[in-house]
Amino acid sequence: MKMETSDEILVDRAQAGDGDAFGQLLERHYDMILRLGYRMLGTQSLAEELAQDLCCALPTKLGSFRGDAKFTTWLYRVTMNAAKDYLRKQRSRENAQKGWGDMFELQQHDASEKANDRAWLAQAMTVLPPDIRETLVLILTEDMKQAEAAEVLGVPEGTISWRISEAKKHLRALAQSEEAYP
């Protein structure tokens, strides 16, 4: 069996100017970037836009990777930061594409159960502030432990558990408003 070259070796080579190593790294992790982007932003096109911007910025960003964390941890962090930047920009871009918000409006009229779930998700994600959103994406869908998520997001572990309980509060409030205005 052929041993796969480790991320860290590829990063070393890429930092030394090896374009093939860089290409291999991206090939390996592109799906992760797209997946995170999609769950943070809510639409395919936004996720792809984010992936493109991030991938094109990575050559420069890579210079700041010092190897004191795992490459994937660093990449998670960079991706999440980029996604949050997008959310911030979106808010300032009045009436521009709204991601999860758009999705919510689009699918409200679709009656199928699957669409119902999507609509609920879109609504829930819109309600959750970006910090909590990113925490949930990492914990729930990337199956990270709280300590890992804390390392990625650069916050204490306590903050992560606080954010999860905040998320529950938000979802509870959402459920109550659903009952009040079904």
Partner 1 sequence: MSDKLDRLEAALKAAKPSANPDRKAEILTLARKSFDAAQENATQPRPTHKSAQNVPDIWTGVKDMFRSINLRPVLYATSALCVGGLAIIITQPFTVGPMGLTDSFNEAETASLEKRQVSEKLKSKADEGAWNSTAGATVEAKVKPKKERISTLSDSLSQDASRPAVSAPAPSAIVAGKVRRVISAEEVVQPVPQQSNESFSNDAPNPLKITNQDPVSTFSIDVDTASYAYIRSSIEGGMLPPSEAVRIEEMINYFPYDYLAPDISEAPFSTSLSVFQTPWNTNTKILHIGIQGAKPEIDNRPPLNLVFLIDTSGSMQAQNKLPLLKQSFSLMLNSLRPADKVAIVTYAGSAGTVLEPTSADQKGKILESLNRLSAGGSTAGQAGLQQAYSLAEKMQSDGSIGRVLLATDGDFNV
Question: What residue ranges bind partner 1 (CB under 8 A)?
Answer: 14, 17, 19, 22-23, 26-27, 30-31, 34-35, 37-39, 42, 44, 47-48, 51-52, 55-60, 93-96, 117-118, 120-121, 124, 136-137, 140-141, 164, 167-168, 171-172, 175
Nearer to partner 1, 34 or 153 (CB): 34
User: C-beta of 163: minimal distance to partner 1 in Å?
Assistant: 12
Q: How far apart are CB 75 and partner 1 at their closest, in Å?
A: 13
Minimum distance, C-beta of residue 77 to partner 1, in the bound complex (Å): 18
Given a contact cutoff of 8 angstroms between Cβ atoms, the answer to whether 7 and 25 are in contact is: yes
**Minimum CB distance to partner 1, residue 1 (Å):** 26
DSSP structure string for 112-171 = SHHHHHHHHHHHHHHHS-HHHHHHHIIIIIS---HHHHHHHHTS-HHHHHHHHHHHHHHH
Nearer to partner 1, 9 or 175 (CB): 175
**Among residues 4 and 117, whose Cβ is nearest to partner 1?**
117
Closest C-alpha to 76, from 19, 17, 144, 22:
144
Could you give the CA distance from residue 9 to residue 82 in angstroms, rounded to a whole number?
A: 25
Measured CA to CA, the distance from residue 67 to residue 28 in angstroms comes to 18
